[in-house]
Amino acid sequence: ETGVTQSPTHLIKTRGQQVTLRCSSQSGHNTVSWYQQALGQGPQFIFQYYREEENGRGNFPPRFSGLQFPNYSSELNVNALELDDSALYLCASSLGQGRSDTQYFGPGTRLTVL
Amino acid sequence: GNSVTQMEGPVTLSEEAFLTINCTYTATGYPSLFWYVQYPGEGLQLLLKATKADDKGSNKGFEATYRKETTSFHLEKGSVQVSDSAVYFCALSEAGSQGNLIFGKGTKLSVKP
């Protein structure tokens, strides 16, 4: 069984640019969530996708957007990058969206904005 | 709003010492509670979870009991190993929240031989 994978591993961008991060969910999982983890902090929920529809969103501006594809893989897009967007971006997949459903995390993409 | 508070780190222990990492939460409903572990340079791994009051989650010698009366979910291990060195995150997921996790800030554990 393949776990959650993310690409790329590392990325360096400059302020104002746009970035796309990718995530492949664990086999059979139809729900994908994205989190931002700043250095030394716990992850913060960005949004969740279920069957290609956004299913919930945290306190992030609209320049953070996403997609989920029919195979349940997902993208996170960030426009107009700011220095504070530098963080580890984590993708997690789960079988459902209930409070007791376990989320399985990928290794993350480290984004540096200069 | 909902939140999770963990004890500040870093925590440094000698091998075979007893570990406790405190975690308390604030939630309006009946959340599920989780402990995740993050090893250096890696993503998060689920360590254990509990979905209702008085449930005990356990894995790899770690345990935590869901205490509704004290809104706590403290992580314990009787004898830590060097390989347990990592950052530990307490998290909650509340009903109606689409399962999104709210994390504490993490507690870094270093175990010395």
Partner residue opposite A41 with nearest CB, options B42, B45, B105: B105
What would the mean pLDDT of B85-105 be, rounded to a whole number? 87
Beta strands in A1-114 (DSSP E): 5-7, 10-13, 19-24, 31-37, 44-50, 53-57, 64-68, 74-78, 87-94, 104-105, 109-113
Min Cα–Cα distance to chain B from A111, Å: 14
- Percent of chain B having pLDDT more than 90? 81
Is the pLDDT at B96 greater than 70? The verdict is no
Q: Residues of A with CB below 8 A from B43's CB?
A: 4, 6, 90, 105-108
Q: What share of chain B is helix, strand, coil (3-state, %, to 5)?
A: 5, 50, 45
The average pLDDT across A11-34 equals 95
pLDDT band at A7 (very low <50, low <70, confident <90, very high): very high
Residues of chain A in contact with residue B103, where contact means CB-CB under 8 angstroms, are: 42-44
Cα distance from A31 to chain B (closest Cα, Å)? Answer: 10
Report chain A residues whose CB lies below 8 A from the CB of B32. Answer: 99-100
Chain B residue with minimal CA distance to A94? B99
- Say if residue A83's pLDDT is above 60: yes
Per residue in A89-111, pLDDT (tens digit) is 999 999 877 777 889 999 999 99
